[in-house]
Amino acid sequence: MSAFVNQLDTQGNLKHFLTIEGLSRDLLIDILDRSEAFLGVARQAVKKVPLCKGKVVANLFFENSTRTRTTFELAAKRLSADVLNLNISTSATAKGETLLDTLRNLEAMHVDMFVVRHADSGAAHFIARHADPHVSIINAGDGRHAHPTQGMLDMFTIRQKKPDFAGLTVAIVGDLLHSRVARSQIQALNTLGTGEVRVIAPRTLIPAQAESLGVRVFHSLPDGVRDADVIILLRLQRERMSGALLPSEHEYFRLFGLTEKRLRGAKPDAIVMHPGPINRGVEMDSEVADGPRSVILEQVSNGIAVRMAIMSLCIGTQNLHQSTNNQDQAHG
Amino acid sequence: MSAFVNQLDTQGNLKHFLTIEGLSRDLLIDILDRSEAFLGVARQAVKKVPLCKGKVVANLFFENSTRTRTTFELAAKRLSADVLNLNISTSATAKGETLLDTLRNLEAMHVDMFVVRHADSGAAHFIARHADPHVSIINAGDGRHAHPTQGMLDMFTIRQKKPDFAGLTVAIVGDLLHSRVARSQIQALNTLGTGEVRVIAPRTLIPAQAESLGVRVFHSLPDGVRDADVIILLRLQRERMSGALLPSEHEYFRLFGLTEKRLRGAKPDAIVMHPGPINRGVEMDSEVADGPRSVILEQVSNGIAVRMAIMSLCIGTQNLHQSTNNQDQAHG
Amino acid sequence: MSAFVNQLDTQGNLKHFLTIEGLSRDLLIDILDRSEAFLGVARQAVKKVPLCKGKVVANLFFENSTRTRTTFELAAKRLSADVLNLNISTSATAKGETLLDTLRNLEAMHVDMFVVRHADSGAAHFIARHADPHVSIINAGDGRHAHPTQGMLDMFTIRQKKPDFAGLTVAIVGDLLHSRVARSQIQALNTLGTGEVRVIAPRTLIPAQAESLGVRVFHSLPDGVRDADVIILLRLQRERMSGALLPSEHEYFRLFGLTEKRLRGAKPDAIVMHPGPINRGVEMDSEVADGPRSVILEQVSNGIAVRMAIMSLCIGTQNLHQSTNNQDQAHG
């Protein structure tokens, strides 16, 4: 994670998508605008565009996640790419050399993109640093570090409902200490000039230097959600319970679980978000999850469009407008 | 299984395919006629039609079955759909809530069809009842309840050889008590007006109210196959042996196994069917399985065509005739 | 392995690709020439040709190998074929009858090609002997017998660097006794009229009748590589160590591992090859593996092109030239 990887190529175009840190506001806006166009693809009779036809996307999942892998697989297939799903056990890659040989082999097969998920922070950067110049890397979650496509789909979802970031108060609730999702969200929210970014968490689940990230820290849910426009709940990793960090799920819900009653402190039109999968009765109750303010399933739909936008920016052969025209002709 | 799910949409078109029960004779005939057209696709140089191009079919197999999943995967790919194979462990879905959240997520990704296989009777109905209106569900086998695509491919195979159901005597041999295949076959045979439907099984493997299904019950193979036009053997689940239901495979074969000698009691042009995979020397001997009356492999070929017909009826964008013309132009 | 299978059809065209043994020099040259054309496909913006569009390739891997399966999967997808990945546990096929029923079923689904990998020598021949006439079989490695596509990609890589086989000295180093790769390489090298083929191995890892294969045997690495143009290192299967065949990896490297120093005995422009995956510090040190004479990654790239050539020769619907023209029109 230490060494620098330029995510842009020499022409200033997106080459890798490893972290939101360091990306410009203009680039984030560009990604959001393109995602808007891709959202329409899912509503077409033929949900496919040929932007990445003949390209090969390899899902390198060192950490198992059917759910995330499926979203990347669908995004790639809607771009007409071919997809290789490679489950690589972490044990086989304990020797770094073997991992590099694996990468070299996939590069030699002319794979165009690696979508990397790994339990270690910095894994996607490591791979990007050692990859052949023709390969693009997307970080699909590395340790506690970053999950930038999740961060962008959350920004997209917020902008759909609340177009002006400058006027917004966004509260992120949960295990800040271990959350790569929160890290990417905070970077994106600040880059987009969000009015106020708050984090709400028990003292044991908040990093020591939290304020330096550009957030206001709260340890009480009622205080933190007051007048918020957006409330983002983080998934509670159940394995944290076994340590001394949290007393119990029940106790967590009592203090930090979102209920309709607690939502009343927020703005009347506040939206509720969650990266999924939800632990019902832990991060929130079902009334909230399935209620009118929840945009959780819209996040999922938006995730495909945002990933299509990012993947096609990195390896697409033409722009969506041209492609949509071709598509129309082909199916007209 | 109790609550009613309408398998047709408001225009009377097929939306789900969960069970043959309640479907009209005309609809079954329509499916068989369309399957006929799809049979030709497998003989084309390019075995593909674009009827479901851009559609996403998710195989939700809670019960493992490479064989059945492969037939649906091939049928979907021949229709130019994209296929997601999701192996969902039954344990993860013990909590019904989690299953629904999984479904909601896949729906949000604009998946168009779920092909569901589950060890519990009624699982596909449950999913259809809770699914978003834009999603179609196909039942690929649920508990002891139904396996309707298998039922339809069996009807298709019978009609290929013996076009007039009214004149036929069809005998189903085996474990009627646990067979979802038999249940779907009996419903289809009766809906299509089959002359006589017989079931032949040991007393321990036949449901108490068997006659109410519209069948004649036999406990002797020679009696049951006498003058039959079609003999359908059911697969014997070997796990039944461990219970008290059956003495041994050897004993089963002695009493209910089909041999060339026993086939002599049937019509001279009788055909022999089996849903596969065969237990040779249990349900029948190899001489019958590989003999001239066996249409077992034709059932497999027909299965792809019948599944293409049903899938495209549910989610296809145009009809086969148009599509075949486009195909011709594209490759002419 | 005993019974004869004709790899050519009645018109003399390639039908199966099971072994290099018995194939003519002209056919091997034809495959190499076609592979040359396919190498260009990987450099196109759209890395796809429609030669096998609508064809179904089933990867039947009885022996697990993600790496080899991926190369066949990519080759098939670049030819626009649909791919089924079937992992068949060896236990399920202990009964030969079940394997044949599995094959019959896949044939009935109109699968066009089986790519077979199996721990038993002769498995691919067995399948070819029993397969339906419309199905092509490619041997992706059977026991100690043959790995002919690996052999051909090695020939292709040699010819790229050293076009005239007659003038070459090629040294193969390693476990000759268990290597299906070496067996295929030796057959191809001799068919192509290679000047001298040497094998270098410890006495315990060389077959008794080695000279009868048309090779010169060496037991000393320095002697064997002297003035060689091409040095092919075989992968050392680590499980051999547990037997009495080899003392230790360290000892193997000391005697047979390739180092820059030892390479000095070869021709100044000698190339170094390895079928992968490399055991660094066993077959060679990293200086050689990553050095200027190593063509190991080019072998990987070439492997896709060679497999595309062989697969399209067996089941392609038109030739590459026509197809490339269509492609140009479609994307022009």
What amino acid occupies position C329?
Q
What DSSP letter does each residue of C163-229 carry, written as one string? --GGG-EEEEES-TTT-HHHHHHHHHHHHTT-SEEEEE--GGGS-TTGGGGT-EEES-HHHHHTT-S
Residues of A in contact with C78 (CB under 8 A): 54, 82
The answer to whether C198 and C230 are in contact (CB under 8 A) is: no
Asked if C162 has any chain B CB less than 8 Å from its own CB, the reply is no
How many whole angstroms separate alpha carbon B283 and alpha carbon A168? 70
Tell me which residue in B66, B277, B278 faces C86 most closely, judged by beta carbons: B66
Q: What is the pLDDT of residues C235-289, one digit of tens each?
A: 987 766 666 677 788 889 999 999 999 999 999 999 999 999 899 999 999 999 9
- Residue B67's pLDDT band (cuts 50, 70, 90): confident
Is A324 annotated as catalytic? no
Is B254 annotated as catalytic? no
> Hey, are the CB atoms on C108 and B297 less than 8 Å from each other?
yes
Calculate how close chain A gets to B220, using CA atoms only, in Å.
Answer: 50
Q: What is the pLDDT of residues B215-225, one digit of tens each?
A: 999 999 999 99
Residues of A in contact with C77 (CB under 8 A): 56, 82
Q: What is the pLDDT of residue A175?
A: 92
Residues B55-88: b if buried by 16+ CB within 10 A, e if exposed: bbbbbbbbbeeebbbbbbbbbbbbbbbbbbbbeb
How far CA C106 is from CA of B17, B74, B308, C86, in Å, comes to: 25, 11, 17, 11
Peptide bond into C277 cis (omega under 30): yes
Calculate how close chain A gets to B105, using CA atoms only, in Å.
Answer: 6
- Nearest CA to C34 among C312, C332, C274? C312
- Residue B88's pLDDT band (cuts 50, 70, 90): confident
Asked if B235 has any chain C CB less than 8 Å from its own CB, the reply is no
ipTM confidence: 0.88
Asked if B47 has any chain C CB less than 8 Å from its own CB, the reply is yes
> Hey, are the CB atoms on C48 and A56 less than 8 Å from each other?
no
Which residue among A95, A134, A250, A331 is the active-site one?
A: A95
Asked if B74 has any chain C CB less than 8 Å from its own CB, the reply is yes
Residue B208 DSSP one-character state? T
> Hey, are the CB atoms on C300 and A109 less than 8 Å from each other?
yes
Of all residues in chain C, the one with the smallest CA distance to B296 is: C105
Exposed, middle or buried, B201 (CB in 10 Å: 0-12/13-18/19+)? Answer: buried
Exposed, middle or buried, A332 (CB in 10 Å: 0-12/13-18/19+)? Answer: exposed
Q: Give, for C74, the enclosing helix (H) or strand (E).
A: helix C66-78
Residues of A in contact with B109 (CB under 8 A): 70-71, 74, 300-301, 303-304
Of all residues in chain C, the one with the smallest CA distance to A51 is: C46
How many whole angstroms separate alpha carbon B226 and alpha carbon B266? 5
Look at B4 and C108; give whichever has higher pLDDT: C108
Token duo for residue B287: 């001489």
Calculate how close chain C gets to A294, using CA atoms only, in Å.
Answer: 39
Strand, coil or helix: B269: coil
Asked if C109 has any chain B CB less than 8 Å from its own CB, the reply is yes
Residues of B in contact with C102 (CB under 8 A): 277
Q: What is the pLDDT of residue C321?
A: 52
- Residue A321: phi and psi, rounded to 5, are -60, -50
How many whole angstroms separate alpha carbon C261 and alpha carbon C327? 49
Tell me which residue in B74, B280, B286 faces C109 most closely, judged by beta carbons: B74
Calculate how close chain C gets to B302, using CA atoms only, in Å.
Answer: 8
- Nearest CA to C108 among B266, A77, B39, B129? B39
> Hey, are the CB atoms on B108 and A300 less than 8 Å from each other?
yes
Architecture of domain C25-146+301-331: 3-Layer(aba) Sandwich (3.40)
How far CA A130 is from CA of A3, A135, A136, A137, A247, in Å, comes to: 11, 10, 11, 11, 42
Instruction: Give ranges for CATH 3.40.50.1370 in chain A.
Output: 25-146+301-331, 148-299
How many whole angstroms separate alpha carbon C101 and alpha carbon C103? 5
- Residue C34's pLDDT band (cuts 50, 70, 90): very high
Tell me which residue in B45, B297, B304 faces C54 most closely, judged by beta carbons: B45
Q: Give, for C256, the enclosing helix (H) or strand (E).
A: helix C249-256
- Residue C121's pLDDT band (cuts 50, 70, 90): very high
In chain B, which residue ranges form alpha helices assigned H by DSSP?
25-39, 66-78, 96-108, 123-130, 148-161, 180-191, 221-225, 249-256, 260-263, 286-289, 296-315, 320-331
> Hey, are the CB atoms on A86 and C71 less than 8 Å from each other?
no
Tell me which residue in B55, B105, B317 faces A276 most closely, judged by beta carbons: B105
Asked if A129 has any chain C CB less than 8 Å from its own CB, the reply is no
> Hey, are the CB atoms on B53 and A46 less than 8 Å from each other?
yes
Relative to beta strand C169-173, strand C113-118 is unpaired
Is A130 annotated as catalytic? no
Asked if C304 has any chain A CB less than 8 Å from its own CB, the reply is yes
Residue A205 DSSP one-character state? G
Cα–Cα–Cα angle for B145, B149, B152, nearest 5°?
105
What amino acid occupies position C163?
P
Q: Which residue has the tokens 């626009």?
A: C80
Residues of A in contact with C277 (CB under 8 A): 98, 101, 105
Asked if A213 has any chain C CB less than 8 Å from its own CB, the reply is no
> Hey, are the CB atoms on B110 and A47 less than 8 Å from each other?
yes
Residues of B in contact with A301 (CB under 8 A): 108-110
- Give the rounded distance of the alpha carbon of B129 from its chain centre: 21
Find all residues with CB under 8 Å of B313, minimum gap 6, and list them. Answer: B13, B14, B31, B34
Calculate how close chain C gets to B299, using CA atoms only, in Å.
Answer: 8
Q: What is the pLDDT of residues A119-169, one digit of tens each?
A: 899 999 999 999 999 999 999 999 999 999 999 999 999 999 999 999 999
What amino acid occupies position B185?
Q
Calculate how close chain B gets to C55, using CA atoms only, in Å.
Answer: 7
How far CA C222 is from CA of A215, B53, B247, C216, C258, in Å, comes to: 67, 60, 70, 14, 10
Average pLDDT of chain C is 89
Q: What is the pLDDT of residues B192-244, one digit of tens each?
A: 999 999 999 999 899 888 889 999 999 999 999 999 999 999 998 776 666 66
pTM: 0.90
- By annotation, the residues of C acting in catalysis are 67-68, 95, 117, 147
Q: What is the pLDDT of residues C205-236, one digit of tens each?
A: 998 888 899 999 999 999 999 999 999 999 98
If one looks up domain A148-299 in CATH, what number appears? Answer: 3.40.50.1370
Neighbours of A9 (CB within 10 A): 13
Residues of C in contact with B77 (CB under 8 A): 56, 82
Of all residues in chain B, the one with the smallest CA distance to A50 is: B54
> Hey, are the CB atoms on B110 and A77 less than 8 Å from each other?
no
Q: What is the pLDDT of residue C244?
A: 66
- Nearest CA to A152 among A12, B25, A160? A160
Find all residues with CB under 8 Å of C84, minimum gap 6, and list them. Answer: B70, B73, B74, C56, C57, C58, C59, C111
- Nearest CA to C258 among C172, C316, C136? C172
Asked if A71 has any chain B CB less than 8 Å from its own CB, the reply is yes
How many whole angstroms separate alpha carbon A148 and alpha carbon A19? 5
Find all residues with CB under 8 Å of B115, minimum gap 6, and list them. Answer: B57, B58, B59, B60, B61, B69, B72, B138, B140
Q: What is the pLDDT of residues A202-261, one digit of tens each?
A: 998 998 888 899 999 999 999 999 999 999 999 987 766 666 677 788 889 999 999 999
Calculate how close chain B gets to C46, using CA atoms only, in Å.
Answer: 18
- Nearest CA to B81 among C196, A214, A243, A77? A77
Q: What is the pLDDT of residues C284-305, one digit of tens each?
A: 999 999 999 999 999 999 999 9
Asked if C56 has any chain B CB less than 8 Å from its own CB, the reply is yes
Instruction: Compute the average pLDDT of residues B158-185.
Output: 96
Dihedral sign, Cα of residue A289, residue A291, residue A293, residue A296: positive
Strand, coil or helix: A58: strand
Q: What is the pLDDT of residue B324?
A: 46
How many whole angstroms separate alpha carbon C299 and alpha carbon C39? 12
- Nearest CA to A85 among A108, A123, A111, A51? A111
> Hey, are the CB atoms on B54 and A66 less than 8 Å from each other?
no
- Residue B98's pLDDT band (cuts 50, 70, 90): confident
Is B198 annotated as catalytic? no
Token duo for residue C95: 């009964």
Token duo for residue C262: 């030892």
The answer to whether B62 and B117 are in contact (CB under 8 A) is: yes
Token duo for residue C245: 């065949």
Is A67 annotated as catalytic? yes
Q: Which chains touch A (3 or more CB pairs under 8 A)?
A: B, C
- Nearest CA to C115 among C95, C141, C82, C94? C141
Which residue among B67, B250, B261, B264 is the active-site one?
A: B67
Tell me which residue in A54, A84, A109 faces C304 most closely, judged by beta carbons: A109
Asked if C329 has any chain B CB less than 8 Å from its own CB, the reply is no
The answer to whether B320 and B49 are in contact (CB under 8 A) is: yes
